[in-house]
Amino acid sequence: MFASFRTIFVLLTLLTAASCSPSLTVMSFNVRQSHAKEVDPRNSWNNRADACLEMLKVRQPDLVGFQETQYKGQWTFFRDSLAAEYGAVGIGRDNGVDKGETSGFLYKRSVLSLLDSGTFWVSETPDVPSVSFDEKYNRSLTWGLFKVNKTGKRFFYFNTHLGLTWRSQKEGIELIVKKMREINPDGLPLVFSGDLNTDITSTAFNPLKEVMLNAHDVASKTDNVPTYNAWGNKQKERIIDFIWVSPAVKCIEYKTDTAPYLGHELISDHYPILVTIKL
């Protein structure tokens, strides 16, 4: 009888610990690179930089991956402005140091500890800065291994910006799935975010669908808002930004952030997306 009570007590303790496990908020944000020639000057980087920063301060993600963020002027702006609270991992995709865009991420140090990190290029030569398959731009992926400070649980995070052609997307996804297995041989929980430049109907996603779940589809609470807003051009709106999770990760809420910040109805031609998860 005593053994039965002890077994029940242990099970209840484990269940209580699981239910009290802290949630994490992960964001993916295509910032719109600063070199773009904007038709509407209000959309130029200098006019909306503070609004983008305000969004991050309001939303307070635990982990945020960036796309289309120029290392000099955009990545450094976010990194330095939020350095008191956030750690940063990111390199320029054109030289592996500080040139070109970055697929870097910021993480809240009070919540997460970075254990390891790295970058590879989404191309035939992933170990060096290189053009991605039939793309004309370098494409890279930056990853991190994290420990949740409160629980000690570990998980991987991958962040990227895929190419514009179907071949670069298909072969890019195949490489990323291969790298997931190589970098995460123990099968720890994994979160993958990015602007993937195509919608969910593309067959390029097939290898990813075999190992991960689209948070948009499996979250207990979700929306169906286009993530690419094309600066308000309704005819071009699409969902092309994603956060994927391994099956062991519970998705509580998926949200497309369409709120205005500092008077800007649109802070980028992409909306930030956020997922609240539990490991």
Note the pLDDT tens digit of each residue in 185-225: 999 999 999 999 999 999 999 999 999 999 999 999 999 99
Weakest mean pLDDT among 4-13, 119-128, 191-200, 251-260: 4-13
Distance CA 50, CA 26 (A): 21
The reply to whether the predicted model has a pTM over 0.85 is yes
Residue whose structure tokens are 């994927």: 244
Residue 13 has pLDDT above 70, yes or no: no
Contact 254, 273 (CB under 8 A): yes
Average pLDDT over every residue of 56-80: 98
DSSP state of 180: H
pLDDT at residue 10, rounded to an integer: 44
Residue 107 has pLDDT above 90, yes or no: yes
Average pLDDT over every residue of 137-145: 98
pLDDT band at residue 5 under the 50/70/90 scheme: low
Residue 253 has pLDDT above 70, yes or no: yes
Share of the chain above pLDDT 90, in %: 91
Distance CA 77, CA 94 (A): 19
Q: 3-state class of 275 per DSSP?
A: strand
140: Cα within 13 Å, side-chain hemisphere: 31
- Domains within the chain, CATH numbers bracketed: 23-278 (3.60.10.10)
Residue 1 has pLDDT above 60, yes or no: no
Note the pLDDT tens digit of each residue in 53-63: 999 999 999 99
Distance CA 243, CA 223 (A): 13
Distance CA 62, CA 49 (A): 20
Distance CA 104, CA 21 (A): 27
Among residues 279, 208, 195, the alpha carbon closest in space to that of 24 is found at: 279
Residue 257 has pLDDT above 80, yes or no: yes
pLDDT band at residue 21 under the 50/70/90 scheme: confident
Q: 3-state class of 150 per DSSP?
A: coil
pLDDT at residue 133, rounded to an integer: 85
pLDDT at residue 4, rounded to an integer: 55
